[in-house]
Amino acid sequence: MRSHLLNDTTAESYRRSVTEGVERVASKLAATRGPFTGVTPAELAPVIDAVDLDRPLGDASAALDELEDVYLRDAVYFHHPRYLGHLNCPVVIPAVLGEAVLSAVNSSLDTWDQSAGGTLIERKLIDWTTGRIGLGPAADGVFTSGGTQSNLQALLLAREEAKTDDLSKLRIFSSECSHFSVQKSATLLGLGRDAVVSVPVDGNKRMQSVVLAAELETCRAEGLVPMAIVATAGTTDFGSIDPLPEIAALAEEYGAWMHVDAAYGCGLLASRTRRHLLDGIERADSVTVDYHKSFFQPVSSSAVLVRDGATLRHATYHADYLNPRRTVAEQIPNQVDKSLQTTRRFDALKLWMTLRVMGADGVGELFDEVCDLAREGHALLAADPRYDVVVEPQLSTLVYRYVPEAATSPEEVDRANLHARKALFASGEAVVAGTKVDGRQYLKFTLLNPETTAADIAAVLDLIAGHAEQYLGENLVHA
Ligand SMILES: *Cc1c(COP(=O)(O)O)cnc(C)c1O
Q: What are the pLDDT digits (tens) for 82-105?
A: 999 999 999 999 999 999 999 999
- Say whether both 330 and 379 belong to one domain: no
Residue range of the domain that includes 133: 98-357
- Say whether both 344 and 448 belong to one domain: no
User: d(Cα 307, Cα 135) in Å, to the nearest integer?
Assistant: 5
DSSP character at residue 461? H
C-alpha gyration radius of the chain: 24
Question: What Cα–Cα distance (Å) separates residue 355 from each residue in 170, 296, 349, 432?
Answer: 40, 11, 10, 30
223 class by beta-carbon count within 10 Å (0-12 exposed, 13-18 middle, 19+ buried): exposed
Could you tell me if 302 and 292 are in contact, meaning their C-beta atoms sit under 8 angstroms apart?
yes
Hey, CA dihedral for 217, 220, 222, 228, is it positive or negative?
Answer: positive
Nearest atom of ligand 1 to the alpha carbon of 147: 5
What is the distance in A from the centroid of ligand 1 to the CA of 329?
A: 36
Nearest atom of ligand 1 to the alpha carbon of 236: 15
DSSP 436-450: EETTEEEEEEE---T
Choosing from 78, 181, 230 the residue with most ligand 1 atoms within 8 A of its CB, the one to mutate for a pocket test is 181
| Residues in contact with 428: Cβ distance below 8 Å, sequence separation at least 6, in sequence order | 34, 35, 36, 37, 38
Q: What was the pLDDT predicted at 193? A: 87
Question: What Cα–Cα distance (Å) separates residue 45 from each residue in 50, 74, 439?
Answer: 9, 12, 34
Q: Which helix (H) or strand (E) holds 398?
A: strand 397-402
Q: Which helix (H) or strand (E) holds 304?
A: strand 302-306
What is the distance in A from the centroid of ligand 1 to the CA of 149?
A: 9
Residue count of the chain: 479
What is the distance in A from the centroid of ligand 1 to the CA of 143?
A: 14
Backbone angle region of 220, left / alpha / beta, with phi > 0 → left and psi within -120 to 50 → alpha: alpha
Choosing from 196, 201, 236 the residue with most ligand 1 atoms within 8 A of its CB, the one to mutate for a pocket test is 236
- Say whether both 310 and 297 belong to one domain: yes
322 in any annotated domain:
yes
What is the distance in A from the centroid of ligand 1 to the CA of 78?
A: 17
384 in any annotated domain:
yes
Nearest atom of ligand 1 to the alpha carbon of 292: 7
What is the distance in A from the centroid of ligand 1 to the CA of 448?
A: 15
Among the residues of 69-136, which ranges form H helices? 93-105, 117-133
Q: What are the pLDDT digits (tens) for 426-440?
A: 999 999 999 999 999
Q: What single-letter amino acid sits at 273?
A: T
88 in any annotated domain:
no
- Say whether both 104 and 222 belong to one domain: yes
23 in any annotated domain:
no
Choosing from 177, 180, 281, 290 the residue with most ligand 1 atoms within 8 A of its CB, the one to mutate for a pocket test is 290
Could you tell me if 319 and 337 are in contact, meaning their C-beta atoms sit under 8 angstroms apart?
no
User: d(Cα 205, Cα 234) in Å, to the nearest integer?
Assistant: 10
Q: What was the pLDDT predicted at 478? A: 55
Tell me, rounded to whole angstroms, the distance of Cα 92 from its chain centroid. Answer: 16
Give the three-state DSSP class for 409. coil
- Say whether both 192 and 262 belong to one domain: yes
Ligand 1 atom 5, closest CA: 147
Q: Domain ends where: 303, 338, 357?
A: 357
Nearest atom of ligand 1 to the alpha carbon of 264: 15
- Say whether both 115 and 239 belong to one domain: yes
- Say whether both 242 and 340 belong to one domain: yes
User: d(Cα 355, Cα 128) in Å, to the nearest integer?
Assistant: 10
- Say whether both 282 and 341 belong to one domain: yes
Q: Which helix (H) or strand (E) holds 359?
A: none
Nearest atom of ligand 1 to the alpha carbon of 148: 9
Nearest to 109 by CA among 339, 375, 442: 339
DSSP 205-270: S-B-HHHHHHHHHHHHHTT-EEEEEEEEBS-TTT--B--HHHHHHHHHHHTPEEEEEETTGGGGGG
Nearest atom of ligand 1 to the alpha carbon of 178: 13
Nearest atom of ligand 1 to the alpha carbon of 151: 10
CB atoms within 10 A of CB 45: 10
What is the distance in A from the centroid of ligand 1 to the CA of 377?
A: 24
Q: What was the pLDDT predicted at 192? A: 86
- Say whether both 247 and 337 belong to one domain: yes
What is the distance in A from the centroid of ligand 1 to the CA of 146?
A: 7
Q: Tell me the CATH number at 316.
A: 3.40.640.10
Q: Which residues form ligand 1's pocket by a CB distance below 6 Å?
A: 87, 146-148, 151, 179, 181, 232, 236, 261, 263-264, 290, 302
Nearest atom of ligand 1 to the alpha carbon of 149: 9
Q: Tell me the CATH number at 383.
A: 3.90.1150.170
450 in any annotated domain:
yes
Domain count, the chain: 2
- Say whether both 136 and 235 belong to one domain: yes
What is the distance in A from the centroid of ligand 1 to the CA of 446?
A: 13
Ligand 1 atom 10, closest CA: 147
Q: What are the pLDDT digits (tens) for 194-209?
A: 999 999 999 999 999 9
What is the distance in A from the centroid of ligand 1 to the CA of 429?
A: 26
User: d(Cα 102, Cα 108) in Å, to the nearest integer?
Assistant: 9
CB atoms within 10 A of CB 427: 15
Could you tell me if 84 and 460 are in contact, meaning their C-beta atoms sit under 8 angstroms apart?
yes
Q: Domain ends where: 342, 357, 372?
A: 357
Could you tell me if 337 and 323 are in contact, meaning their C-beta atoms sit under 8 angstroms apart?
yes
Span between the terminal Cα atoms of the chain, in Å: 65
- Say whether both 306 and 397 belong to one domain: no
What is the distance in A from the centroid of ligand 1 to the CA of 45?
A: 29
Q: What single-letter amino acid sits at 260?
A: V
User: φ, ψ for residue 163 (rounded to 5)?
Assistant: 50, 55
What is the distance in A from the centroid of ligand 1 to the CA of 239?
A: 12
Q: What are the pLDDT digits (tens) for 111-131?
A: 999 999 999 999 999 999 999
Could you tell me if 240 and 234 are in contact, meaning their C-beta atoms sit under 8 angstroms apart?
yes
Q: Domain ends where: 299, 324, 357?
A: 357
pLDDT mean by block of 10 residues, the chain; 479 residues:
94 96 96 96 98 96 97 97 97 98 97 96 98 98 98 98 94 98 98 95 98 98 98 98 98 98 98 98 98 98 98 93 90 95 98 98 98 98 98 97 91 96 97 97 98 98 97 75
- HSE-up of residue 377 (Cα within 13 Å, Cβ side): 31
What is the distance in A from the centroid of ligand 1 to the CA of 154?
A: 13
- Say whether both 202 and 304 belong to one domain: yes
Could you tell me if 189 and 229 are in contact, meaning their C-beta atoms sit under 8 angstroms apart?
no
Nearest to 353 by CA among 367, 363, 345: 363
User: d(Cα 354, Cα 147) in Å, to the nearest integer?
Assistant: 20
Nearest atom of ligand 1 to the alpha carbon of 181: 10
